[in-house]
Every structure is written in structure tokens, then in C-alpha cells.
Amino acid sequence: MPDVFYCFKQIAPYLNNLTINDTAVYLADRENYLLAFPGENIMLPIKPGDKIQRGTAVRECIAKNKAVRLKVPENVLGTAYIACAVPISEDNKVVGGVSFVTSIKQEEKLLGIAAELSKGLEKVISSSKAIEDQAESMINIYEELFKLSETLHGCIRETDDVLKVIDNFAMQTNLLGINASVEAARAGSAGKGFGVIAKETSRLANSTSSSSKKIEEIFDRIKAASGDQASVIDNINHIVFSQREAVKNVNAEINMLSVTLETLMKDAQKLNNNDY
């Protein structure tokens, strides 16, 4: 065994404790593995004397005579892992290689979590968008209600003017009936026609006045209901605009979370890609 292999054999048992991640160490000559030191949780199906399989980092580094970093898929040795291998030379000739192997379970788990978070965030964004659209629809409804309320108030004001005209008509008619009664009394038997006119005019005046009061009572109730309606519309306006502001704040938080998650996804993909 070349001296360099002997040196690696002496220090290999200590290498796992010198690395941050759980690491297995494998030493090979140009054809076969010579030593295998599994980690605590990473153990490849390799033992001394086994031939070096195709697609492994140690085989690549021996063939290319340079350091190799790669992710080895599960179909090569039954488990996926990240390997860093360097060739071993003696007298300027490649005599073998040493490979440091680390499990990628944590990286794959991180990538899976990031993917699930991304799906969940997409659902939250979709729901938030739906709420925002509903808030905008409510604002449009509020604006229509506000226009209708203004129209109703305008109609009420016009009705007040009409009621004043009716009251004035009733008063004038009543005066006309009184005058007709006076003329009928003054004319005596010749004023019977005036008496009939006076009676009908007074009856019309009383009827008009009574109807006017009833209409006024009805519109007083309409005014009160209109005032309540305006109060409700104002409350709707407050709620809708508060909801829209809340949605904006939520969207801002979601955007920040989305940026963070995007960074997490990129980091997870870097850990799990083929450029090791």
C-alpha cells in the first residue's frame, strides 16, 4: 500500500468529527475501495474490496485527475448523497482517490418544505385576491347605494315643495269657501248657488288639507327611514374601506413572505442541484 494510503488510513476515523455535517469517508485505489468509514447516519453499501461503480465521485476524480463535487442519485448506490472526491497521486501518477460523502436528506426535506410552503402561499395569495376583489365590488355597491340615497333625498326635498303647494292650495280654497259663504248669506235666497259652491269649496279645502297632512306623515316616516339608510350606508362605507386597508396590509405581508420563500426555494435548490 502506498504511503499516502497509509496516511489516509490513519486519519480517516477522525475526519467525521472534523466536519460540520455527518460525513462518511471512502478510500480507493484505481479499481477498488480500500477503506470505508461510514458516518453516524450516512452509510453507503460499500466495503473494502468492492469495485468502484460508475457514476461515483471517486471514479470521476480518478478518471479526470481533479477534484469532483457532485450529487449521486439513488439508483447508483441505493441512496442519494453529495460527494466530494479528490485524486491521490504518488510520483506524479494517480493511484487512487478519497471521497467525502454527506446525505442530502435534510436538503431534500428542506426543498420539500419550501415547495409545500410555496403551494400554501399561492392559496393564501389567491384567497387574498378574492377578498380584495370582493372589497372592490362592495365599494362599487356602496357608491351605487350612495347615489340612490342622494336621489332619494332629492325626491324628498321636491316632495316637501309639492306639499307646501298643496297646503297653500288648501288654504286658498278654504278662503274661497269662506268668501262664497259670506256672499251667499248676503244675497239671501238669490245666493243659493253661492251656498252650494261655498259648501263644496269648503269640503274640498278640508279634504285637501287632510290628505296633505296624511301625505306629510308618510313622508316624515320616509325621511326617518332615509336617515337610517344613510347611517347604514356610512357604516358599510367604513367597513368596506377598513377591509380594503386590511387586505392591503395582508398583501404587503404576503409579498414580504413571498420574497423570503423565493430566497428559501433558491437556496434549497442550490443545495439539491447537480452542481456540487
Nearest to 136 by CA among 231, 228, 227, 251: 251
20 φ/ψ angles, rounded to the nearest 5 degrees: -70, -45
**CATH value at residue 57:** 3.30.450.20
Residue 198's pLDDT band (boundaries 50, 70, 90)?
A: low
**pLDDT tens column, 215-243:** 777 777 777 766 766 777 777 777 777 77
Domain enclosing residue 212, as ranges: 109-272
Distances (CA, A) of 249 to 103, 121, 231, 240, 255: 41, 16, 27, 14, 10
Residues 197 and 234 in one domain: yes
The CATH code of the domain that includes 147 is: 1.10.287.950
> Contact at 8 Å (CB) between 184 and 195?
yes
For residue range 60-105, list pLDDT tens digits in order. 999 999 999 988 777 777 777 888 999 998 888 999 999 998 877 7
**pLDDT for 102-116, tens place per residue?**
877 777 777 777 778
The residue written with cell numbers 278654504 in the block is 174
In this structure, of 28-37, 129-138, 175-184, the range with the lowest mean pLDDT score is 175-184
Q: Which of the four pLDDT bands, split at 50, 70 and 90, describes residue 33? A: very high
Statement to judge: residues 39 and 176 lie in one domain: no
Is the domain of 63 the same as that of 143? no
- The Cα angle at residue 228 between residues 227 and 232, in degrees rounded to 5: 120
Domain count, the chain: 2
Q: Which amino acid is at 86?
A: V
Report residue 32's pLDDT band, with 50, 70 and 90 as the boundaries: very high
Q: What is the pLDDT of residues 110-167, one digit of tens each?
A: 777 777 877 877 887 777 777 777 777 777 777 777 777 777 777 777 777 777 777 7
Q: What is the pLDDT of residue 274?
A: 45
